[in-house]
Amino acid sequence: MKNVKLYENKQVLVLGLAKSGYAAAKLLYSLGANVVVNDMKPLEENETAQSLQKLGIEVICGEHPLTLVHDSLFMIVKNPGIPYTNPILQKAVQMKIPIITEIELAYQISDAPFIGITGSNGKTTTTTLIYEMLDMGHKKPLIAGNIGTVACEVAQMAKEENYIVTELSSFQLMGVSSFRPKISIFLNLFEAHLDYHGTKKEYGLAKANIFMQQTENEYAIINAEDKDVVDLSKQSSATKVYFSTKQKLVNGASIIDGYLCYFGEKIIHTKDIVLPGEHNLENILAAICAAKLVHTDNEAIRTVLTTFTGVRHRLQYVGNINDRLFYNDSKATNILATTAALNAFSGPIVLLAGGLDRGNGFEELKPYLTNVTALVTFGQTAEKLIATAKEVGIKTIEHVDNVEHAVPVAYRLSNPGDVILLSPACASWDQYKTFEVRGDIFMDAVHKLK
């Protein structure tokens, strides 16, 4: 960990707790900052705030008083989920007080280089693939960010020989200024989180912060098939490495005669890869680029790709019961993710879908339902999904109370050789605290069938 003097005796406000705020507050306190923590959850219900208070850190809970922003305030470290419309942040912007997220703090103290991964879809899978490839290749990776441990905790224990592999959201990347990963990856850009960012353009610019500080000595891995990503990357000075599932590339990773290749070098044949889905070929190609850039040997890469079956809750293979294949794709919280899951299979699918109603319809899902022989739906969007299924001619439709009830019904409606796929196309919050809880309930129900 670098001996950072920047925060000594400086007034720093940590806005919002959760895991990242807690870690940031403790780190800043250890760096000599005068830390104030502000969280909306009342102190008597807030064990995290209470534990910081015991360390001697000032905590203010239950409200966001504007008096926390003043001329002596050096910086705000905010929880990524807090929007910039928050009055405290608006006042700080007016007063030109810097606002960062915890990932910027992690970068400032880290002795290890970062490999940062962003994009609308595929981040978790790609991050995990890179970590596994580097680990298999004895490159001493550490995983951090949205999966794994909070980045500034990982950075405190990282050494120069490590690589910190971290999944990064647009919310995190809005709060960086000096963050400069050794390798950045921008997978794709689709309309998402517009309630936070306002427009797709602003959303894209937030994600593009991943490579804006890079120089020609660092690398940006870019999806050659995504025009928005390619256009944004032109603003970066990083050395570009491209990947594509459609073009044969000489300056990156692509598919040539059935082989995944890196700068023309054959790595593995597509038939030997166990992770399903064409969309995952993009994630794999991006991961290969990162692994090769840190000199991971091909055998390590091949070993991972012939054994890695998916990230938990992301097109995760659950099991085979009487020739029915069960997949848990609970992380598919939007239509785009579900279309990718449906595209991953060529045979008949029994689809389990439904969840939080955000006001959207499911018209965009229609072209991808051709292989769906039966729909089992639940949650607030059940009626909308039923209407969509009827419009495309799906005759077998059942409405159930929840995911647990959906599993035995789906099995009853299935035939040998079918895929039974939980891919909700909706967030989970109408019935479940997180998509992970929803996915765990699905898997438990599958195991009960056995």
Annotated binding site for ATP: 119-125
Helices marked H in 275-315 — which ranges? Answer: 278-293, 298-305
User: Residues 35, 56: contact at Cβ < 8 Å?
Assistant: no
Q: What is the dihedral of CA 101, 107, 110, 116, to 10 degrees?
A: 110
CB atoms within 10 A of CB 53: 15
Name the DSSP letter for residue 367: G
Gyration radius from the chain CA atoms: 23
Q: Which two tokens stand for residue 344?
A: 């991953």
User: Residues 164, 185: contact at Cβ < 8 Å?
Assistant: no
Helices marked H in 215-277 — which ranges? Answer: 227-233
Q: Please enumerate, by residue number, every residue annotated as part of a binding site.
A: 119-125
Task: Report the alpha-carbon distance of residue 314 to residue 436 in Å, rounded.
Answer: 10
User: Which helix (DSSP H) or strand (DSSP E) does residue 240 occupy?
Assistant: strand 239-244
User: Residues 339, 368: contact at Cβ < 8 Å?
Assistant: yes
Q: What angle do CA 45, 48, 54 make, to 5 degrees?
A: 105
- Residues 174-196: b if buried by 16+ CB within 10 A, e if exposed: bbbeebbbbbbbbbbbbebeeeb
Mutual orientation of helices 102-109 and 18-30 as an angle, nearest 10°?
Answer: 40
Residue 304, SS3?
Answer: helix
User: Residues 379, 403: contact at Cβ < 8 Å?
Assistant: no
Who's near 274: CB < 8 A, 6+ residues apart? 305, 306, 307, 308, 309
Q: Characterize the bridge pairing of strands 163-167 and 114-118.
A: parallel
First to last CA, the chain: 49
